[in-house]
Amino acid sequence: MIEATTYLNSVNKNAEPKIPSKDLNKDAFLKLFVTQLTNQDPVNPMDNKEQLAQLAQFSTVERLTNISKAMEGLTESVNELKGLNATGYIGKSVMAKGFAVSKKGSEISSVNISFPATCKFVYVDIYDKDGALIRSDELGGMNAGKVDYKWDGKDKDGNAVEDGQYNIAVRAETPKGKKVLASTEISGKIKAVNMAGGQNILELEDGRKVLLSNVTRVVA
């Protein structure tokens, strides 16, 4: 008996361990129910009401599983339809929530900044692709409303930076010293549509990307 036990332990060690599932699916539920019926005490069998309750639970699990599968299929179909509709944006110019600007030679994209309140001072910080601050542009005071901002493509020392994509962040305060949360929008012409993580991503001609859900206006 000791030798047999040793052999079985050796086999179990070499076998790949099975990771138990955390979810009780319908197959596991049915096996559990059959096991209960098989091993019940003949003298004191399971109560009929309890059996019916468990069968009702099994039926509920089955229906929920089918509903879940149907919803997954519906979600995939909706995402495919959204992707197909998004291709209609190709070749059109849009405004979208975002904070990325692009520079290619003397061509620099602009950003539309919205201020919900009058500002005593406004700073626009420009960051490179690595997140390093390369410039803080002081705009002075601003009234509530929208303003177009266009960076000159230079760093804090007045030197022209390399072509590429950069990000901006707006810092502003009211005359009473309260911080103002300004929103930014970018614009550009759509070159392509990509799908990632169930979302439609619009690629602009200059390489910037925006989510379809962030588009606020189709310009043309």
Q: What is the DSSP string of 14-81?
A: HSPPPPPPSS--HHHHHHHHHHHHHTS-SSSPPPHHHHHHHHHHHHHHHHHHHHHHHHHHHHHHHHHH
Q: Is residue 4 part of a domain?
A: no
Tell me, what's the pLDDT at 23? 54
Q: Is residue 5 part of a domain?
A: no
Q: Which of 4-18, 97-111, 112-126, 157-171 has the lowest mean pLDDT?
A: 4-18
* DSSP code, position 177: S
Planar angle of CA 58, 66, 33, nearest 5 degrees: 15
Tell me, what's the pLDDT at 184? 95
Q: Is residue 66 part of a domain?
A: no
Q: Which residue has the higher pLDDT, 71 or 101?
A: 101
Q: Is residue 67 part of a domain?
A: no
Tell me, what's the pLDDT at 1? 45
Q: Is residue 24 part of a domain?
A: no
Q: Please check the confidence at residue 151 and state whether its pLDDT lies above 70.
A: yes
Domain around 138: 97-188
**In the structure, what pLDDT confidence band is assigned to residue 134 with cuts at 50, 70 and 90?**
very high
Detail the DSSP E strand segments found in 109-207.
111-115, 119-127, 133-142, 145-149, 164-173, 183-196, 199-204
Q: Is residue 15 part of a domain?
A: no
Considering its fold, how many domains does the chain have in total? 1
Q: Is residue 34 part of a domain?
A: no
Tokens at 176, concatenated: 């009473």
Tell me, what's the pLDDT at 45? 59
Cα gap 89→189, rounded to integer Å: 9
Cα gap 134→136, rounded to integer Å: 7
Model's pTM, two decimal places?
Answer: 0.60
**In the structure, what pLDDT confidence band is assigned to residue 197 with cuts at 50, 70 and 90?**
confident
**In the structure, what pLDDT confidence band is assigned to residue 68 with cuts at 50, 70 and 90?**
confident
Q: What is the CATH number of the domain that holds 144?
A: 2.60.40.4070
**In the structure, what pLDDT confidence band is assigned to residue 7 with cuts at 50, 70 and 90?**
very low
3-state secondary structure of 11: helix
**In the structure, what pLDDT confidence band is assigned to residue 97 with cuts at 50, 70 and 90?**
very high
Q: Is residue 73 part of a domain?
A: no
For range 149-166, the mean pLDDT:
94
Task: List, in sequence order, every residue forming a beta bridge with 189; answer none if it has no partner.
Answer: 93
